Amino acid sequence: MKIQLTFFSLLAPCVVYAQTVYLCGDSTMANRGANDGATDGWGPYLGAMITLPVVNKAIGGRSARSFTREGRFTEVANLVKSGDYVVIEFGHNDGGGLGSGDNGRTPCGGSGEEKCQVTYNGQPETVLTYWAYLRNAANLLKSKGANVIISSPTPNNVWEGGSWQYSPSRFTTMSQDAARATGSTFVDHGTYYANLMKLVGKDTTNSWFPRDHTHTSPAGAKGAAESFVKALTCDTTGGLKSKVNSSGYGLRGTCANGSQPSQGGSSGTTTSSTPAPTGGAGGSLPKYSQCAGAQWTGSGTCVAGTTCNKINDWYSQCL
C-alpha cells in the first residue's frame, strides 16, 4: 500500500493546543446571572485576570446533583484536553429536602457515601451527597488530564441583616473535603468574597444585589471574580495561579494572613508581558471561549460557525 505524505500531514502532530479554563456552576457564575437584565455571574470577568481563554459552562438553577444528572460534567469532560483547568463551584441550589417536594437539585443528606432512593419526574434515581457529586466529577475530569479546582460557594449578601455577618456553610466544608479526597485544588472563594464585601461596606455591597440577596450586579460579579483570583493567588501555588496576569495582582483586600500575594518568585506566576494564548490551530478560538473585553489581549478570531458576541464590557464570547 502506498502512503502519501503531504506538507500539512507532516505538520499535524506538531499542533499545540492552548490550555483552557472551563467553569462549572450555577447562576452566580453564569453569563448574565439570573437572566433578568440586572444581574451577572462572576465567570465572564475571570478572563480579564488570567492568560488563558475561559469557557463558561455554568448555568442558572443547577446544583451539583442536577448538573450531574443532566450530563453537564460529562459534556465538559468530553471537551477538556490534558492540562486544561476546570473550576467547580456549587452550593446555592443544593439545599432543600427530598420526598414529595424534591426539586431535582437537593442532594442526599450526609457528607460521605450516603445514598437516597427517590423518584424524580417519574423515574427512579439514586441521589448522592453533595460531597460525592463533587468527588465523582473531579475524578472524571482528572481522568481526562484536567487540573480541577473545587471552589467554595459565594455567600449571599453578608450585610443583609444590617451588620456584616458571615459563617462558611456546610457546602464549604464538603467542597474542601472533596478537593482533599481527589487531590484537587481548593479555593475558599466564599470567605474571600465575604471579606471583600466587608471591606467595601454596607452601601456598596447592597448596591451589588439589585434583585435579591444571591444574584449580583455586574459590579458585584466583577468583585466576586476578583475575590476568586485573590484566593487563588493568596492560598495556592503553581497551577492556575501561574496563569494570573498583572491585572490579577493588586486587587482589593488582603490574604487571610493580612499580606498581599507577590507576583513571580517560586510560585511561577506570569507577568503582564506573557501573551494570552490564541486558541486552537490557525489562531481561532473554540466555541464558548473569550474573544474580547477590557484588558483582553488574546485572539479575537472565533472558530468557523461562531462569532464574537459581547456579554459585557469585560467579556465577549465565541457563540
Residues 6+ apart with CB under 8 A from 107: 63, 64, 65, 94, 127, 128, 129, 130, 132, 133
> Can 215 be counted among the known catalytic residues?
yes
d(CA 273, CA 47): 16
Catalytic annotation present for 167? no
**DSSP one-letter string for 270-291:** --TTSPPP--SGGGPBPTT-EE
Q: d(Cα 18, Cα 217) in Å, to the nearest integer?
A: 31
Q: Which of 151, 175, 215, 299 is catalytic?
A: 215
Give 10-67 as a DSSP string: HHGGG--PPP-EEEEE-TTTSTTTTSSSS-B-SGGGGGGGBSS-EEE---TT--HHHH
What ranges in the chain are assigned the alpha helix state H?
7-11, 64-69, 72-79, 130-143, 170-182, 189-200, 202-207, 218-235
189 is catalytic: no
Identify the active-site residue in 27, 175, 184, 289: 27
Candidates 9, 167, 212, 213; catalytic one? 212
The residues annotated as belonging to the active site are 27, 212, 215
